[in-house]
Amino acid sequence: MRFDWSTLGAKAPTALVRARNVTHHAVQWVVKAARANLPAAADDEHANLVWDGARAAFISQPIPTANAEIRIGFSLRRFALIILRNNRDLDEYELGGRKDASVAVWFDSAMRVLGLQGVGEIELPYTLPSLPVLRGSAYHVSGESEALEELARWYDAAADLLAGVVAAQNLEVPVLCHPRHLNINVQLGLGADADGSPRSIAVGMSPGDEHYAQPYFYLRTTPRLKQADLPLIAAPGRWHMQGFVGAVATAEDIILHSEPQATAVEFLHTVIAIGRARLGV
């Protein structure tokens, strides 16, 4: 997929907060299905998602059954849970206007028909930001269609950009979405220190969080970068020091440039080089 970066900005990056928050909650149905039906894996890898640009959807890892491979997804464009059988659309359920209690009834019934475990007893190992839907209100997405479409375009852009990073680094690592924060990233493994501690670089995109009320691209390292003596980064990049230490470039700053794709590519490759140097790789 080659994404057309000129399509970004139809909705201001700072106007996506409500769409992002309600999506963050809705996606957890997919996560619960994975947790209920896949063996637990190290680093919660069984709960990681992939971004399906054609469907504008977050999709689970494959769930094997006796005669088919099932994947559960959430479509941003339709704001609906989707069920895929052997990568073909099988069923969907729109969440707009519905409460979690109603969603649970439909979802558990659909899972049982497929011979899978329901999600009623599944609890997440993290806490999500508070929203009315958690207190029994319905999913309200009226008036959010443009924001949801724009959010999907940012995931398309990120998936395309990160696939390029993987190719440029000559690595074979997946581009994954992590449901706790709904970020999409790649982990570049860089071996271990002399004492055996792992070294890695994570580059990706957050759809926004408590640090930035808009999507942003980032780099973070393990072990964490030391704040002292970090080199200057050309705009739109900056060093973030509160809560985490890493390099960031916000969506708003990226699309101000005449060539946003080239700007984002240059930012990530620049900070990856800095990260490698700081980790001694």
207: closest CA among 261, 265, 156?
156
Phi, psi of 73 (to 5 degrees): -145, 170
Q: Tell me: the pLDDT tens digits for 63-105?
A: 999 889 999 999 999 999 999 999 999 999 999 999 999 999 9
Would the pLDDT of 28 be above 60? Answer: yes
Task: Compute the distance between CA of residue 279 and CA of residue 281 in angstroms, rounded to an integer.
Answer: 6
Question: CA–CA distance from 51 to each of 22, 29, 33, 63, 280 (Å)?
Answer: 17, 16, 17, 16, 32
Q: DSSP for 142-197, please give it.
A: TT-HHHHHHHHHHHHHHHHHHHHHHHHTT-----EEETTTTEEEEEEEEEE-TTS-
Classify residue 233 by its DSSP letter: -
Residue range 118-133: mean pLDDT, rounded: 90
Give the position of tokens 């907060």.
Answer: 17
Classify residue 99 by its DSSP letter: B
| Cis preceding-peptide flag for 223 (omega within 30 of 0) | yes
Give the position of tokens 């464009």.
Answer: 77
pLDDT of residue 43: 84
Would the pLDDT of 281 be above 80? Answer: no
User: Is 16 in a helix, a strand, or coil?
Assistant: coil
Name residue 176's amino acid. Answer: L
Name residue 43's amino acid. Answer: D
Cβ–Cβ < 8 Å for 233, 267: yes
Q: Tell me: the pLDDT tens digits for 145-189?
A: 999 999 999 999 999 999 999 998 888 899 999 999 999 999 998
Q: At what angle do helices 145-168 and 17-37 cross, to 10 degrees?
A: 60
Average pLDDT, the chain: 94
Would the pLDDT of 1 be above 70? Answer: no
User: Is 80 in a helix, a strand, or coil?
Assistant: strand
